[in-house]
Structure 1
Amino acid sequence: MPQEDKISIVVATDNHYAILLSALLKSIEVNHKTSEKIDVYVIDDGISPSSKKKLQSQVNPAMTSLYWFKTNDVIPPDVKMPVDKSAFPLTTYLRLFAPYIIPRDVKKVIYLDVDMLVLTDISKLWHTDLNGNLFGAVPDLAEIFASEWGGVQNYKELGFAPDTKYFNAGMMVIDAFKWREEDITNKVIKSIHDNLSSANFPDQYGLNITLANKWHVLDRGWNSFAVLDRKDPYIIHFLDIKPIFKSYNCNKDYQDEFYKYLRLTPWKNHKPVSDFRRLSRKAFNKAKKLVKGFLSR
């Protein structure tokens, strides 16, 4: 099948969240009704062989193909990644390389965080017109750069207007050609290095200040945050505590929806687990960054 008749999606995960990717993949397949085949490019940041085998076994090969890329093969050796002080895993930076791991003749790519469910046909998002923009995204909960709790803390120093729109980077429809031509990945990484003390949501911060006003605003249904209880979302994004934890505190119907899809996968017997795993992972992420920062000096 010609590449233009396929939908290209990039995701990135470590082994801890392979279970989330499982539900995401199943939700995409169940709700895909058109004839396009789906190519999913998985950036593997430490997925175990057993988890990888489960993920591979669950997809319908007539509809979906999985392509695997190790983190070390995705990040060029001469690129120095930022070491921020947040508890976000280093995996979060891997979205910046999405346009580079797809075939060079693929004009467009959808990046999805793994803590999502797709509840409508992904082809509708794929065929969205970007109106000549570099990419399409949905406004974040912070909405604007001047948000008191999110946004861009140093927007004044950077010369941005306070009402500059601020997007969530969990879902992006990217013009891959333009992204590579404009060397966006390196520009974003540099902007984070230059403003590390203000990078509260590191990769998202860097994307927003680098690409301010260069994005197409998509319908909010394409990145509907679980904290908002939106009716009939196209994509649910579990921004906060994930539905695999007992402490999940967002829309219960969304959690039920997650387990509806998970029950169709090799993780079908999973039940919500205690917060110990979630909190220990945050501590691990911070410790890993401290070590990386020390070794990079």
Structure 2
Amino acid sequence: MPSNDGEPTQIVFAIDESYSLPLTVAWHSLRASNAELTDRLQIDLLYEELSPLTIERLRWHAELLGLRVRLRPVHLEPIRYPTAFGGAHANYLRLVIPEMYLDRERVLYLDADLVIRGDLSALFGTELDGRPLGAVRDPLNPVVGRGRALPGWSKLGIPPEQEYFNSGVLLIDPAACREERLFARAIEFIAAHPEHIRLWDQDALNWAAQDRWKRLEPHWNAFPLSALVRTPWVRYTTQDLMPLQDLVRLEETSAVLHFASPAKPWKDLLPEGPAAASYRALLSAVRSAERSFTPAI
């Protein structure tokens, strides 16, 4: 990954109170799968408001795992951020990243509802080939003309075949994003066209980026589709574009498994299977560790 000599590798998460538990699961998975990288990582947590107890708990986990973590309160521009269909204000916090990291050549953004199972070194080292960001094509919305993303895309003049990325894993070049005003234009789009927002920040970023994004290998952001297709929230309709059997095989070997959709495993909403079982094991380890947490508050 391009960086200055001695500069730690920057990872950013963003949460609200409701995602503090899965965030600790993500941290534990990161430490377990990337132990050799620990000393090189700078992990920042963006948030608008967290309780003192949650902040204390997160700091305790960071110290337990030997992770260098900074908690950074941020404030979004005062516009209306659509949160219908299960979204949250915290979904939009990643939009401040280019303006916050003026001194970084690369920033890796990760959602909190994922587990890291492979070495991230290759992802950090991925060249963006002049693009402002890298992402993985969204398996449930692979193009804007199929799926639930960007409602009213035709009125915006977007071709139906334009590929659409998932924003749960983003490799960001902050300087290039600032130069192209990619994230700034995403915020302007939200303010001007909230009726075209269905998948929150992701819709706005896809509108702003159009085709100016590097396609990352799909194993960097795989979904547990073997389970998701058995939920009421997912109806797989893009077999011709991304065969389901290929995506199911991918989930078995992926470096990052992203528990997208409302079927969150920490809420026991993901159907039984390997993905749910592996998440339960991590969650159990987190809860076991927390037995020794004694809050000072």
Task: Work out whether the TM-score is over 0.5.
Answer: yes
Superposed displacement of residue 239, structure 1: 0.7
Structure 1 residues 265 and 100: alpha-carbon distance in aligned structure 2, compared to 1, 3 A threshold:
farther
Give the equivalent residue in structure 2 for 1:294.
Answer: none
1:253 to 2:274 alignment: yes
Superposed displacement of residue 3, structure 1: 6.4
Task: Give, in whole Å, the separation in 1 of the partners of 2:5 and 2:64.
Answer: 16
Aligned amino acid, residue 223 of structure 1: N
Give the equivalent residue in structure 1 for 2:20.
Answer: 18
Structure 1 residues 61 and 247: alpha-carbon distance in aligned structure 2, compared to 1, 3 A threshold:
closer
Aligned amino acid, residue 187 of structure 1: R
Match of 1:30 among 29, 32, 36: 32
3-state SS of paired residue (1:160): coil
1:236 to 2:257 alignment: yes
Superposed displacement of residue 157, structure 1: 2.0
Aligned amino acid, residue 255 of structure 1: A
Superposed displacement of residue 269, structure 1: 7.0
- Deviation string 1:238-277 (CA, Å, 9 cap, x unpaired) is 112111113322x63222222333344356579xxxxxxx
Aligned amino acid, residue 89 of structure 1: A
Structure 2 matches for 1:68-147, cutoff 5 A?
68-72=71-75, 75=76, 79-84=77-82, 86=84, 87-102=86-101, 104-140=102-138, 141-147=140-146
1:47 to 2:50 alignment: yes
State the TM-score, normalized to the length of structure 2.
Answer: 0.80
Q: Percent identity?
A: 23
Which piece of structure 1 moves more, 185-194 or 135-144? 185-194
Task: Give, in whole Å, the separation in 2 of the partners of 1:31 and 1:63.
Answer: 14
Structure 1 residues 44 and 193: alpha-carbon distance in aligned structure 2, compared to 1, 3 A threshold:
closer
1:265 to 2:286 alignment: yes
Aligned amino acid, residue 89 of structure 2: L
- Deviation string 1:131-165 (CA, Å, 9 cap, x unpaired) is 11111101112100101x32333222222221000
Structure 1 residues 7 and 226: alpha-carbon distance in aligned structure 2, compared to 1, 3 A threshold:
same
Aligned amino acid, residue 247 of structure 1: L
Aligned amino acid, residue 178 of structure 2: R
Q: How many residues align structurally?
A: 262
Structure 1 residues 29 and 44: alpha-carbon distance in aligned structure 2, compared to 1, 3 A threshold:
same
Give the equivalent residue in structure 1 for 2:178.
Answer: 180
The answer to whether the Cα contact below 8 Å between 1:8 and 1:38 also exists between their aligned partners in 2 is yes
Superposed displacement of residue 10, structure 1: 0.8
Which piece of structure 1 moves more, 22-31 or 191-200? 191-200
Structure 1 residues 252 and 178: alpha-carbon distance in aligned structure 2, compared to 1, 3 A threshold:
same
Structure 1 residues 130 and 81: alpha-carbon distance in aligned structure 2, compared to 1, 3 A threshold:
same
Give the equivalent residue in structure 2 for 1:291.
Answer: none
Structure with a larger share of its residues in strand: 1
Task: Give, in whole Å, the separation in 1 of the partners of 2:110 and 2:83.
Answer: 24
State the TM-score, normalized to the length of structure 1.
Answer: 0.80
Aligned amino acid, residue 65 of structure 1: R
The answer to whether the Cα contact below 8 Å between 2:132 and 2:177 also exists between their aligned partners in 1 is yes
Task: Give, in whole Å, the separation in 2 of the partners of 1:43 and 1:63.
Answer: 19
- Deviation string 1:190-229 (CA, Å, 9 cap, x unpaired) is 1122221121112111111110100011111111112244
